[in-house]
Structure 1
Amino acid sequence: MNPAAIGGGFNPNIPNAARMYDYFLGGKDNLPVDREAAQQVLRYVPEVPIGIRENRGFLQRAVRYLAGQGIRQFLDIGAGLPTQRNVHQVAAEYAPGARTVYVDNDLQVLAHARALLQDSPLVLVAEGDLRRPEEIMRDPDIRRHLDFDQPIAVLLLAIVHFIPDSDDPKGIIARIRDSLVPGSHIALSHVVIDERPQAAPGVERVYQSASAPFVARMSDQVTPFFDGLELADPGVVNLHEWRPDIHHFTPRLEQVGAYFLCGVGRVPERPSGS
C-alpha cells in the first residue's frame, strides 16, 4: 500500500519511503536515517501521521465495500511493509476465501512480506513496478493466483504520488483499467497540496534523497486519474469523508480542504465490439 513499489535494494544510508511510511504509522520497521528524513517532513507538514492513519482506515473501508460488491480478488500494487489489518486480513473477514496479491519492487519489503505470509495459501507476494503495469498484469505467478477473467480490485493506495509526470501516471492507470474485465474496481488514494502548497518544495527536497521522489499535485491534477471509471459514492473526496464509519470523527480534519484524496471506481461494461 505505499511508495515501496518504486523503491530498490536495501541501503541503510538512504531513507526508504516504505520505512518512512512505517514510521509515520508508528511502526518499528525503520532505521535512524528513515526517522531523520521523516522528522524533516513533519517540520513542513506536522499532520502527516494523521493522513497516513486515515489512509489505512480508507484501505479497510474500501476492501469492506469491495467485498460487498462481490469482489473476491485483490491486487495491491505498492503494498509496502506489512502492518496491522492488511488487505488479506480485511478481505478474509468480509469475503472468506478471497485471494490477494501484494506487489512491490522494494527487496526489503518483499523479503519481509514473504517471511510473514509464506504460510498463507490465499496470499501471493510478487515483485513488480507500477511504472511497468503490463509486466504486473501479465506476470504468470500473479495470473495463476488470480483469475483475470473475473473481476479484480486493484489497490493503488498512497503510491501514485511517487510516480512523476514523465512516467505518465494517468496512462499507467488507464492501462491497468483496460486490462481488467468489467465489474473490476480500482481504489486510489493520493496526497494533494491544495491546503499547504508552500510546504510542497520542502517535502519534495526530502524525498529527492530517499528511495522514491514525492510529486506534489493539486486536486485538479488527481481527479483525472479516475477517468473511465464509474465512481462509487461519494466520489473523489478526502480520506475521512469516504464512507466513514458511524463513530469515525477526526476533529482536526473536519474543516480542512483537499489534502489526501481517495476514491473507488468500477470498470464499466465496454461497448459491444470493443
Structure 2
Amino acid sequence: MDREEWALTNAARTFDYLDYGKDSWSQDRHVAVRMAEASPGLAGQMLLHRKAREGVVDAVCHSFPQVVDLGCGLPTMRRAPHERGRVLWGSRARTVYVDHDLAALAAARAWWEHPARVRGGNCTCSIWTCAIRRASPQR
C-alpha cells in the first residue's frame, strides 16, 4: 500500500474514533465529527452498539471455543473474543478475525502480544473457506 492510500480516510479508524478508541487520524476524526453533526443521535447509537456487541461476544464465547469475527475492524482489548475465549476455554480457544482492511491487519500486528501469530494475505476463495482453514490449531 503506497503513502497516498494511507493518507485517505479509513472506515475502520473512523469507526474506532466513534467508538471512543484511540487509533484514528485527523482525517478520520474530521469525517466522524461531520457524521455526528449530520446525525445528533450517533453517540447514543454507538453506545448501544458497543453494549450489544459485548453481549454477543459473551454469549458466543460461552457457547463455542472457536469464534470467527467477520469484519472485525481495528483490534480492541475491551472484551475481545480472544480474551473471553481464553478465560472460558483455556488453550482450546481459537479466534479468527477476518477483515479486508489492511489498516486492521497492521494494527493487529502492532497491538497483540504475539504478532507472529497474526497473518494476512489475499484470498481468492470464499471468505468462509479461508476463515475455517485459518481457525485450525497450528502444528
Using structure 1 for the length normalisation, give the TM-score: 0.42
Bigger radius of gyration: 1
Partners of 1:17 and 1:66 lie apart in 2 by: 25
Deviation at 1:64, TM superposition (A): 1.8
Kept in 2, the 8 Å contact 1:101–1:126? The answer is no
Asked if 1:138 corresponds to 2:129, the answer is yes
Same amino acid, percent of matched pairs? 32
Deviation at 1:10, TM superposition (A): 4.1
From 81, 100, 106, the counterpart of 2:74: 81
The amino acid across from 1:137 in the alignment is: W
User: Which structure 2 residues correspond to residues 99-138 of structure 1 after superposition, within 5 A?
Assistant: 99-117=94-112, 119=114, 124-127=118-121, 134-138=125-129
Kept in 2, the 8 Å contact 1:72–1:99? The answer is yes
Partners of 1:117 and 1:144 lie apart in 2 by: 17
The amino acid across from 2:129 in the alignment is: R
* Uncovered stretches (5+) of structure 2, i.e. residues with no partner: none
Deviation at 1:100, TM superposition (A): 0.2
Asked if 1:24 corresponds to 2:6, the answer is no
1:150-171 Cα shifts (integer Å, max 9, x gaps): xxxxxxxxxxxxxxxxxxxxxx
The amino acid across from 1:49 in the alignment is: A
Aligned to 1:51: 45
Partners of 2:71 and 2:26 lie apart in 1 by: 23
Kept in 1, the 8 Å contact 2:61–2:85? The answer is yes
Q: Highest relative contact order (Cα 8 Å, sep 6+), 1 or 2?
A: 1
Kept in 1, the 8 Å contact 2:61–2:84? The answer is no
Partners of 2:109 and 2:93 lie apart in 1 by: 18
User: Which structure 2 residues correspond to residues 184-199 of structure 1 after superposition, within 5 A?
Assistant: none
Kept in 1, the 8 Å contact 2:108–2:115? The answer is no
1:170-219 Cα shifts (integer Å, max 9, x gaps): xxxxxxxxxxxxxxxxxxxxxxxxxxxxxxxxxxxxxxxxxxxxxxxxxx
Deviation at 1:27, TM superposition (A): 1.8
Q: Which has the higher strand share?
A: 1
Aligned to 2:65: 72
Kept in 1, the 8 Å contact 2:14–2:29? The answer is yes
Aligned to 1:90: 84
The root-mean-square deviation of aligned C-alpha atoms, in Å, is 2.8
Kept in 2, the 8 Å contact 1:124–1:142? The answer is no
* Uncovered stretches (5+) of structure 1, i.e. residues with no partner: 1-8, 148-274
Using structure 2 for the length normalisation, give the TM-score: 0.76
Deviation at 1:118, TM superposition (A): 5.4
Structure 1 runs (4+) deviating above 6 angstroms are none
The amino acid across from 1:67 in the alignment is: C
Kept in 2, the 8 Å contact 1:64–1:94? The answer is no
